[in-house]
Structure 1
Amino acid sequence: MAVTAVAAPSAKIAVQKGLVPASFVLAGALASLVGMSWDIQWHDDVGPDTFFTLPHLLMYSGSAFAGLASLFVVLTTTANTKRGKAVDPIVGGRAVGVLGRTFAAPVGYLISGSGAALFLMYGLWDQVWHSIYGFDAVIDSPPHIGLLLSVSITMVGTVMVFAVARDRRWGVNGLVVAAATLLMFSMVTVLGLRALPDGLVDAITVGSGFLAVAVLFAGAHVLNRRGAALAIGAVVAAVQTVLWFFSPWAAEVYADAMGLPLRDYLEGYPGMPSMIPMSLILVAVVVEVLRAAPPWVPGLVGGAVIAALAPVQNSLVQGSGFPGADKFLVTVVVGAAFGALAGMLGHRFGQMMRHLAPEKENRHA
């Protein structure tokens, strides 16, 4: 009884050490996601945009929140290491030396913090861009692409932080939400493909399918249990639904507060939520059914499903017409090929993240 009484508080403290900073980083990632969805809707429904709009500030504060939490963990880990104090590897993974071992940084927080630091640099460039050119007419300006990639790096680090604790309940739940957040945000980075010349392949559709399948596979393989892919897909669907109603409402309320009118001809659908494949839940079912198959098989099917149903989603949501038969077929074939590649890469990334966990957990994986 005496041993149990001593061990229980100790275990609880260890869990809280990992849970608290991980929760702060995840909260920052979610704030960036909401801020981005709101900002895209502001671009679509209102237009005038400066560096200090509320959507921008929410997105920036989310990245700063995650960055400060990561910095705190790195500094405390460094201090404990220099004092010869044991560092719990469940907090962000094994510590690695940075700048000639000046700092000891848990690898998950190193990635999330690096993304936040890059975000700050691109944010300064965005301020200069606004100073020179005024408000942005498009979301895929050069500094915005850098900002999007930086936030994506932070979100990758968030997934890694929770992957370390995949054998804990909070680690499982956090990883599902973190993977879903990364998946949804990655749909915005695909907008950079609009710079490619138009042809027989819909690059946006193929890119969306590739990233969606890759992140879904990576998250599901880290957990390596039944229902993992479905859980990630369900969280994506739930957040997509919330943003579907929140983004237009927030843009209209903020426009009224600023005394700005909405555009005469609104698109009539939320910008960012409509980018997320609604067929993702079907892909998650495919992943669950074909768990025993080589990863490229469900990846191929998943990529084909997203590519085939994307025109249906665009038609129902945006009112756009169907592509020609030749472009549709070529896009499905290319989407399937990239889906197969995404399945293999996602499986490989999942394996890599499983090795972030302490040795004791790896032996039981």
Structure 2
Amino acid sequence: MDLTAPGAGVATTAHRARTGLAPASTVLGGSVISLVGLTWDIQWHSDVGPDTFFTLPHLFLYAGSAIVGLASLAVVLLTTAARRAGRPVDPRVGGRAINVFGRTFAAPLGYLVSGAGAASFLLYGLWDQWWHGLYGFDAVIDSPPHIGLLLSITISIIGTVMVFASAREHRWGALGALGSLSVLLAFSTVTVLGLQGVALEPVEVVRAATALLSVLFVMIAAGFLRRTGAVLGTAAGLAVLQAVFWWFSPWAARAYADMVGLPVRDYVSGIPEMPSLMPMALLPVAAVLEVLLLLGRKRGWHTGRVPVVAGGVGGLLLGLTLMLQAGWIYPMFHPDTTTVLATGAASGVLGLLGGFAGWRFGGMLRLLAPATKGEDAHA
């Protein structure tokens, strides 16, 4: 893999595309493997129960982070070697190279973030092993080492988004960034379960937080691409993941239970645990946000205000529909009207923040790549 910049003379657009695509696809593949391991592990705990540190779902989680970590390390070492040889490094491969430990290493920013997440996953994995050895079997998502593991993978996926964003002049870079945001959104629906101990009656905190993150990530996509289709593309990616995992999660748990000779629990509901946390209404809500953003562009509304208003509308709609979704999926869940309205209102307020931050984070992602010729800096 040649990381040399265009100024060094190797340098066609096709060559740069081939240079960046392979490692970027590898870290995205590792992130998806981690996501598969997570949905499988959660379903296993729900439908079967007993596990060890080395169950097959856990190995998927470890393998995903290992792939991300090794790919990131390889790019960092190649970048360091190129810098020491006096060759300019193409900033489209993972972002601009920055010095690490003085000038010991030169690391593209995206791969530095993804690699740091993978390294912290290793440390939290060791803590989780010690935790299970001390306290035994534990099936709660919000134990300290579990939260650390989830946040570590989240950091790796954020790095993956940055890697693809650095190559936004290529179609694979733009599409990969949207796909990575979809993976990040799917993963975040589990991470927010760490808030389930927070009591803020009558608001359902976890669902309000899910609405906030959903708005945040789709608005990051909008702020990054600055064209119609970014929000819908990210929402469509989540819909595909949700549909696949809706089938995969229960099947994988039962198949693995049969393989190791363990019985499935008698009271299994058959509901796919992780996919049921993902907002089913995100796609139609995304269409509403696309219309609002398009109207804002065509009518010349204030650029900074339209994403905030769109985020508030999106948060309100998602907060309400997430409550209806839970009542539809879980027959025993019967929230009163006050709880539904309070959660919707809180989600709407949080959505304003998500729209504001998402648009600006998207703008920050644009800065990872060199400006293209004739690009409007104020787009």
TM-score (norm. length: structure 1) = 0.95
Q: Which residue of structure 2 aligns with residue 314 of structure 1? A: 326
SS in 2 for 1:97: strand
CA distance in 1, matches of 2:169, 2:155: 24
- 1:216 aligns to what? 218
Equivalent position of 1:358 in the other structure = 370
Once superposed, which parts of structure 1, at least 4 consecutive aligned residues long, lie more than 6 Å away?
A: none
1:112-127 to 2 correspondences below 5 Å: 112-127=114-129
Deviation at 1:327, TM superposition (A): 1.8
What amino acid sits opposite 1:304 in the alignment? L
- Aligned equivalents of 1:310, 1:38: Cα separation in 2: 22
Aligned match for 1:337, one of 334, 337, 349: 349
1:288 is aligned, of 287, 290, 298, to 290
Indicate whether 1:303 and 2:305 are aligned: no
Tell me how far 1:220 sits from its aligned partner: 2.3
Structure 2: distance between partners of 1:97 and 1:332: 45
Q: Distance in 2 between matches of 1:36 and 1:26?
A: 15
Residues 90/364 of structure 1: CA separation in 2 closer, same or farther (3 Å cut): farther
Q: Tell me the residue number matched to 2:35.
A: 33
User: How far is the alpha carbon of 1:197 from its aligned partner?
Assistant: 2.4
**Post-superposition CA distance 1:273-323 (Å, at most 9, x none):** 000001111221122111126211110011101111112111221223331
* Residue 153 (structure 1) shift: 0.4
Comparing both structures, which one devotes a greater share of its residues to helix? 1
Deviation at 1:269, TM superposition (A): 0.4
Partners of 1:155 and 1:226 lie apart in 2 by 24
Q: Percent identity?
A: 53
Q: 298-307 or 221-230: which moved more?
A: 221-230
C-alpha deviation, 1:83, in angstroms: 1.0
| Residue equivalent to 2:168 | 166
Specify the alignment match of 2:246 in structure 1: 244
| Number of residue-to-residue matches in the alignment | 359
Alpha-carbon deviations, 1:131-150, whole Å to 9, x = none? 12222222222111100000
Is the CA contact 1:314–1:320 (under 8 Å) kept in the aligned structure 2?
A: no
Letter in 2 for 1:90: R
Q: Equivalent of 2:271, from 269, 272, 295? A: 269
The aligned counterpart of 1:107 is 109
Query: Structure 2: any 5+ residue segments left out of the alignment?
Result: 1-8
SS in 2 for 1:104: strand
Distance 1:139 1:335 in 2: 23
SS at match of 2:89: coil
| Residues 308, 352 of structure 2: 8 Å contact kept | yes
SS at match of 1:305: helix
- Aligned-residue offset at 1:333: 1.0
Deviations 1:25-49 (A, max 9, x none): 0000000111100000001000002
Q: Secondary structure at the match of 2:74?
A: helix
Residue 4 of structure 2 is matched in structure 1 by none
Q: TM-score, normalised by structure 2?
A: 0.92
8 Å CA contact 1:220–1:229 kept in 2: the answer is yes
Does the CA contact (< 8 Å) of 2:169 and 2:372 recur in 1? no
Give the Cα–Cα distance (whole angstroms) in 1 for the partners of residues 138 and 19 of structure 2: 42
- Mind listing any 5+ residue stretches in structure 1 that lack a counterpart? 1-6
Separation (CA, whole Å) in 1 of partners of 2:333 and 2:139 = 25
Q: How does 1:32-111 map to 2 (within 5 A)?
A: 32-111=34-113
Report the equivalent of 1:12.
Answer: 14
> Aligned-residue CA RMSD in angstroms?
1.5
Please tell me whether the aligned partners of residues 29 and 63 of structure 1 are also in contact (alpha carbons under 8 angstroms): yes
SS class of match (2:196): helix
Corresponding letter in the other structure for 1:135: F
